[in-house]
Structure 1
Amino acid sequence: MKQLLIFAMTLLLGNVVAYAQLDLPPVAGNPRAMVSEEVGITSITITYARPDVNKREGKIWGTLIPLGFTNFSFLTNAPTAPWRAGANDNTTITFEHDVKVEGKDIKAGKYGFHVAYNPDSSILIFNKVNNAWGSFYYEQKDDVLRVKVKPQPLDKSVEYLKYEFTNHSANACTIALMWDNLSLPFRVSVNTEDIVIATIRDQLKGNIGFNPQIVLQAAQYCFTVNKNLEEAYGWSKRAITGFGGQKTFPTMSNWVNAAVRTNRLKEADSLMTEVVALGNAQQLATFGRSLITLKQADRALKLMLDNQKKHGDNFVVNSGLMRAYSAKGDFAKAIEYADKAIAQAPNDQQKKATEDLKTQLKGNKDIN
């Protein structure tokens, strides 16, 4: 029994030694860092250690960081090892979804990130091994992607290596490795709209798909980006006829919007009476403007006239009619309603804005 106990304790201690880690400061005082941002809904995260210049200005690139590949490889003893793009553990970069780097596809995942520096054209390497110490055991066969970029001079020296996200757009950003007097920038682009729609589709299969406001929001996103219109039409109806759905101005006007965008024009016309009944003056005027945007000037004018019948002679109604007649090319009629709106403007700012629109109408220019 005693021997069995000793064996068990030995096994336990062996496991503790194998898996326990002390929380110690980083090697050589290189601060550990992580930077993460989103492009659309795609998270991009870089984890790295930050070496400093330490009075080596101008001696980093091409000296401390050699040109191209080095013979630091423990596997080949040949010039096959790139730089780890940081200090200590290899730098890693994680893409939440599939992206393009410098126009080339790379799948979602976590990658070891390395650099083969050259002042004219440096190679950026994304490698499937993401848990290595440095690049001593780097192997090209594990590369997922290589791209070439041109290093850029910096106006001000960067003491501690860093990664920065710049030049943001809805579908792209630039990530730059910056150290000493150089930057290595690379462009990451994301198909945000398709990713969002795919995510929405999955989410609507879960419990939030029983919330009609969420379903409505899903359809409206598709209309905003003008993609996935048929499925969005189905979501528009589901927000009304599905679980918990109800007829409100937002849901009914969105259904009309869906019908127009999918060329179900008779259906759109049949729903208009209910839309008018549910909307206030501002809602109807705003919806009328959205129909103008969809090149539905006749339907927009009819809606604005119905708004007039329901809500009378006021600034919002007359401003809507001004825009509807402008969309029809009837500038004389549009000016008539512009004059009414100017007289009814609730403040000087809206009065001035309407006067400016009238000036455009007098030059026979559509104000929409």
Structure 2
Amino acid sequence: MRLFFLTTLLLLSFSLTAQTVTQPPSGNNQKCEVTQYIGSLVKVTINYSSPNVTGPNGQDRTGQIWGQLVPYGLTDLGFGLQNPSPWRAGANENTTISFSHDVEIQGQKIQAGTYGLHLIVEESQPWTIILSHNHTAWGSFFYKESEDALRVTAEAEDAPFAQWLTYSFTDRQPDQCTVAMRWENKKLPFTIKVPEMTEVYLANMRQELESTAGFNWQGWNQAANYCLQQNTNLEEALTWAENAVALPFIGQANFNTLSTKAQLLYALDRKEEAETELQAAIAYPGANSFQIHVIGRQMIGSGDTKMALKVFEANHQRFEGAWPTEVGMARGLSAVGRYADAVKHAEIALSQAPDQLNKDNLVQMIENLKAGKDVN
């Protein structure tokens, strides 16, 4: 019994001495994380430890960062593999960058995943950005070129003083963003782009339509409308639109679903079917003049000016010339070159205009129409 107790105590002692506790970050280089979405789905995250221009002992290292604290080119760090190595692009553990989807960095493809981020800093030429498959190492001490996933270059720029090394997203577009690393008096921007953003959304929509979004007509209609607006994947989108109209238990033939289906049929050059669906949409009891007006504007945008005029005429007749159907008539007639007739409707619309902004726009519209200019 005594032996068992001693053995247990020794094992417990060994176990306890093997444990570590959380302490302040090495060198007081605070951990940081920054995340940016490209669009609604593609997530980019950078994890890093942020060194200070002021050293741990309070020394001012301004002017001693680039080329000294951070050497130019590759250097033997005196530990680990002791091979010429890049900079860890931060402090302490690997700086890492993660992508939820496949992207392009500086125009070069990289697969979704997490990568160690390293830099080869240069004095008078572009810097090299390295993404390594090894993202769990401490710093660059065990960096191996054979583990590179990607190498690209970017131009470093002079920048306002930054006390702490910081990564930020300085430009954000629907399908790309710009990341900038800033420290002391330098900035390194580089771009991350989603090469097929539309396909990313479509793939996600297909998944969502197999889940809760597929159990209501709104989900199918939204997916079909997205394809319509992007002018892509139209055949599958028509199937989605038909589901929104008539899928058992959830389909609903309302203005939204019928008009979406009609516009997809137009886009697929199935005009007779499209006109039938559009007439059903316009006649739908719940449709209002503004909704129908928007369809007419969309028809003009797609180049089908004759059908646009038919939509505006049906709207004008159904709502007996109420606002904004006179505006629609002016636009529809202008689109087919009947400017004198368009002026008459625009002048009536001016008398109906609900606010000064609409009045000002209509005054300008009338001037253009009288000069023989299309107002669409």
Shorter chain as normaliser: what TM range? Answer: over 0.9
Q: 1:204: Cα distance to partner?
A: 1.1
Q: Does 1:332 align with 2:336?
A: no
Q: How does 1:156-171 map to 2 (within 5 A)?
A: 156-171=160-175
Return closer, same or farther for 1:336/1:161 CA change in 2, 3 Å cut-off: same
- Whether the aligned pair in 1 keeps the contact of 2:258 and 2:281 (CA below 8 Å) is yes
Q: How does 1:277-356 map to 2 (within 5 A)?
A: 277-278=283-284, 279-356=287-364
Question: Counterpart amino acid of 1:355?
Answer: V
Q: What secondary structure is seen at the aligned counterpart in 1 of 2:91?
A: coil
Q: 1:124 aligns with which of 121, 129, 132?
A: 129
Matching residue within 220, 226, 229 for 1:221? 226
Instruction: Report the counterpart of residue 44 of structure 2 in structure 1.
Output: 44
The amino acid that maps onto 1:185 is P
Alignment-mate amino acid for residue 314 of structure 2 = D
What amino acid is aligned across from residue 62 of structure 1 in structure 2?
G
Structure 1 spans left out of the alignment, 5+ residues:
none
Shift of 1:13: 6.9
TM-score, normalised via structure 1 length: 0.94
Residue of 256, 272, 290 corresponding to 1:266: 272
| SS of 1:24 mapped into structure 2 | coil
Superposed displacement of residue 76, structure 1: 4.3
**Matched residue type, 2:43:** S
Structure 1 residue 23, shift from structure 2 partner: 2.3
Q: Residues 202, 4 of structure 1: CA spacing in aligned structure 2 closer, same or farther, 3 A cutoff?
A: farther
Letter in 1 for 2:149: V
Q: Tell me how large the CA RMSD over aligned residues is.
A: 1.9
For residues 5 and 304 of structure 2, the distance between their equivalents in structure 1, rounded to whole angstroms, comes to 85
2:23 aligns with 24
Q: For the structure 1 residues 218 and 8, does the alpha-carbon distance in structure 2 shift closer, same or farther, using more than 3 Å as the test? A: farther
Find the partner of 1:205 among 207, 210, 213: 210
The equivalent of 2:57 in structure 1 is none
- Secondary structure, aligned partner of 2:340: helix
Post-superposition shift, 1:273?
2.4
Q: Read off the aligned partner of 1:122 and give its amino acid letter.
A: W
Q: Does the 8 Å CA contact 1:163/1:177 hold for their aligned counterparts? A: yes
Q: Are 1:66 and 2:71 counterparts?
A: yes
Q: Aligned match of 1:149 in 144, 147, 154?
A: 154
Contact conserved, 2:127 with 2:155, CA < 8 A, in 1?
Answer: yes
What is the CA–CA distance in structure 1 between the aligned matches of 2:209 and 2:89, rounded to whole Å? 41
Residue of structure 1 in register with 2:144 after alignment? 139
Equivalent position amino acid for 1:39 in 2: I
Q: Give a deviation string over 1:255-299, Cα, whole Å, max 9, x none.
A: 111111122211101112211112221111111111111111111
1:308–1:78 Cα change, 3 Å: closer
Deviates more, 1:284-293 or 1:1-10: 1-10
In structure 2, the residue corresponding to 1:258 is in which secondary structure? Answer: helix
Aligned equivalent of 1:230: 235
CA contact (8 A) 1:73 1:138 kept: no
User: Residue 47 of structure 2 aligns to which amino acid in structure 1?
Assistant: T
Q: Determine helix, strand or coil for the equivalent of 1:315.
A: coil
Give the percent of matched residue pairs that are identical in Structure 1 and Structure 2: 35
Give the aligned partner of residue 179 of structure 2: 175
Which is worse superposed, 220-229 or 120-129?
A: 220-229
Note the C-alpha offset of 1:71.
0.8
Deviations 1:81-109 (A, max 9, x none): 11100000010000111100000000000
Q: Which runs of 5+ in 2 are unaligned?
A: 55-59
1:246 to 249, 252, 276: 252
CA contact (8 A) 1:39 1:192 kept: no
CA contact (8 A) 1:315 1:340 kept: no
Whether the 8 Å CA contact 2:81–2:141 is kept in 1: the answer is no
Secondary structure at the counterpart of residue 34 of structure 1: strand
Deviation at 1:12, TM superposition (A): 7.0
Q: In structure 2, how many angstroms separate the alpha carbons of the residues matched to 1:78 and 1:10?
A: 41
Change over 3 Å in CA distance of 1:2–1:232 after alignment to 2? farther
Please tell me the residue identity of whatever aligns with 2:44. Answer: I
CA spacing shift, 1:13–1:282, aligned 2, 3 Å: farther
1:333 maps to a residue whose letter is: D
Name the structure 1 match of 2:281: 275
Q: Return the letter of the residue paired with 1:51.
A: P
Counterpart Cα distance in 2 of 1:297 and 1:195: 33
Superposition deviation, residue 14 in structure 1: 5.9
Give the superposition deviation at 1:77: 2.9
What secondary structure sits across from 2:206 in the alignment? helix
Does 1:185 pair with 2:189? yes
- State the distance in 2 between where 1:284 and 1:21 align: 68
- How many angstroms apart in 2 are the aligned matches of 1:328 and 1:104? 47
Evaluate the alpha carbon distance shift between residue 203 and residue 137 of structure 1 in structure 2; reply closer, same or farther with a 3 A threshold: same
Alpha-carbon spacing, 1:322–1:136, altered in 2? closer, same or farther (3 Å): same
Distance, in Å, in 1 between the alignment partners of 2:30 and 2:241 is 51
Change (3 A) 1:57 1:256: same
